[in-house]
């Protein structure tokens, strides 16, 4: 027996049905959204999105062609390829275990051992297999992971008995994958650092504000 209707539906009817379902979902999720408003025109949105994709593709093709022409020009002239005038951070190195850009504590830097009381040894083959290929993956609760960083111990203590070494926020990969609801309703507030568009233009400048809020998605 068929589990779905075999009745023929015109494109116009299907579009109206889709719009009706979208508006029902909007009322439950973001009823006051200025982007997904009550008169949202799906057809117009699809047209603009397709046009934007075409613009992005043409821009990428033009960039690739210009880069190839520049490459051939330099080869023909026998000139060296251009190099940055300044090294990143003017070649400075830092003595703290923080990322150079965000200044957040991390192990992904040359000086990662600074300030660490415990440094986890490499996981054993048994632990890697237990957390990896031997772990069932039919449910999100049983996802496969690399071995976790654990406090060092002698051979009489098994890896299951050793405590985790607290991880920095940038290295904590064990957070659950967010659901659609988590993404929609997540709000991050910065308190006194928040400001409206007019204040933003005064602080950041009109040019940067225009870049942060372009006329279209491209």
Looking at residue 1, what is its pLDDT? 47
CA–CA separation, 75 and 167 (whole Å): 48
Look over the chain and give the mean of its residue pLDDT values, rounded to a whole number: 77
Q: pLDDT above 90 covers what percent of the chain?
A: 0
3-state secondary structure at position 147? coil
Lowest-confidence region among 110-114, 128-132, 196-200: 196-200
pLDDT tens digit sequence for 78-99: 666 667 778 878 888 888 888 8
| pTM of the entire predicted model | 0.40
Six-digit token pair at 105?
């504590």
Better-predicted residue by pLDDT, 110 or 174: 110
**What is the Cα–Cα distance from 108 to 146, expressed in whole angstroms?**
17
Mean pLDDT of 147-169: 87
Residues 6 or more apart in contact with residue 161 via CB below 8 angstroms: 153
**Cβ distance 132 to 146 under 8 Å?**
yes
Quote the CA–CA distance of 137 and 127 in Å, as a whole number: 16
């Amino acid at each position: 027996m068929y589990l779905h209707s075999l009745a023929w539906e015109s494109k116009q009817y299907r579009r109206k049905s889709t719009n009706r379902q979208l508006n029902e979902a909007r009322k439950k999720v973001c009823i006051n959204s200025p982007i997904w408003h009550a008169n949202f025109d799906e057809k117009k949105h699809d047209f603009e999105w397709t046009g934007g994709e075409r613009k992005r593709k043409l821009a990428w093709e033009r960039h690739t062609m210009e880069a190839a022409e520049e490459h051939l020009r330099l080869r023909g002239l026998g000139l060296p390829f251009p190099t940055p005038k300044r090294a990143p951070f003017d070649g400075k190195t830092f003595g703290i275990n923080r990322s150079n850009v965000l200044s957040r504590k991390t192990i992904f830097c040359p000086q990662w051992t600074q300030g660490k009381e415990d440094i986890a040894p490499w996981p054993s083959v048994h632990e890697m297999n237990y957390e990896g290929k031997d772990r069932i993956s039919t449910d999100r609760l049983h996802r496969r992971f690399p071995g976790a960083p654990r406090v060092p111990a002698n051979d009489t203590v098994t890896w299951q008995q050793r405590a985790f070494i607290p991880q920095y926020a940038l290295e904590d990969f064990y957070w659950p994958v967010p659901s659609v609801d988590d993404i929609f309703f997540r709000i991050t507030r910065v308190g006194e650092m928040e400001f409206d568009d007019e204040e933003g233009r005064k602080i950041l400048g009109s040019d940067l504000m225009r870049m942060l809020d372009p006329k279209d998605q491209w």
